[in-house]
Amino acid sequence: MQAGRLTEALKLQARQMGFSLVGVCPAGTPPHWEAFQKWLQAGCAGQMDYFHRRASAYAHPHFVLEGSRSLVMLGMNYRTEAPVEPGPGQARIARYAWGMDYHELIRCRLRRLARWLLEQAPGARVRGVVDTAPLLERSFAQQAGLGWIGKNTLLIHPQWGSYLFLAALLTDLELDYDDPFDRRHCGRCRACLDACPTGALTAPYVLDARRCISYLTIELRQMPPKELRPKIGDWLFGCDRCQEVCPWNRRPVVSEEPAFRPMPGHNPANAVEILSLTEEAFHQRFRQTPLRRPRRAGLLRSAALVLGNRPCAEGLAVLRRGLQDSEPLVRAACAWALGRYHDPAASSALERAFAHEPDEEVRQEIISALRGE
């Protein structure tokens, strides 16, 4: 089939499979390659060592698929209902994690799209990826005409905004290419930079992940720096603040994908209940959702931080029990949170826990909590 006809038919198939956006660009060194290298060298990736391990592979898509010539860039809208304001003992979850894990859903669609393409072009090489391959998706999405990279470092489309999952289908076929989205439409707007609770957007188009609430609640495997803990507020998993204030997200374009609708207890979440979960209960509840990513210790740590930032009667009781958790990270977070309750019951629990706490980092958290630091 002629390249132009094949490309148009491929785009039609992608839209019929539920992708909101589809564009095609040539395989090559991504425009943001040098900026990405500088970002890594500045240490902005924090503990996300997989970026460093695969740093050179981001230079060209042929490291993902040998012989790749074209990238079919895809976007899927995940915006559903409006966020519900959390009450006492409750917490916020980023919109993308309200429903089922998007990875498997999108991989399934990519496999179907790849099979269709192979039926049209037998012998072609094709690989679909979502989120896990060394590919600068936003850079290639801009090259494929899907939008521009905003000051919050997210891809923004004039109609769909930024609540988009990105994916790519790589192939060694030469397809018809779309024009890059060359214009940036952020103008003088600073809404995302000014709204970031932790100052993670250190400059327009620059994100220091080490300060980002999404990184602190998902990727970080230890306690966040003390000065950032209060700024996490009531975010349990991820953060949407820079998207919530973006003018390009004011238009309510709602996803029709049922899998992205909030699961019970995800909008908002019950931090008290989550802090009480056993290992088995955690896996049973979150095994098919993005919330499994930080593992039980990481999610319960974040639940404790939320309860420390938003003290409530139910929180005091579950935090005291949390001082006996098997995970040092959870105990440390509960100790810090109890130090913010200014309640005799909290002080007594901390003193009792200190008497038999074997972990030195947890002991230091208890000391700081008792001192009100």
Q: Which active-site residues does the annotation give?
A: 131
Residue with tokens 């004011």: 250
Tokens linked to 160: 């769909």
CB 276 within 8 A of CB 318: yes
CB 163 within 8 A of CB 243: yes
Q: 328-338 vs 313-322: helix axis angle to the nearest 10? A: 140
CB 350 within 8 A of CB 240: no
Tokens linked to 48: 């996300």
For residues 155 and 79, give the distance between their C-alpha atoms in angstroms, rounded to a whole number: 14
For residues 152 and 205, give the distance between their C-alpha atoms in angstroms, rounded to a whole number: 6
For residues 185 and 317, give the distance between their C-alpha atoms in angstroms, rounded to a whole number: 49
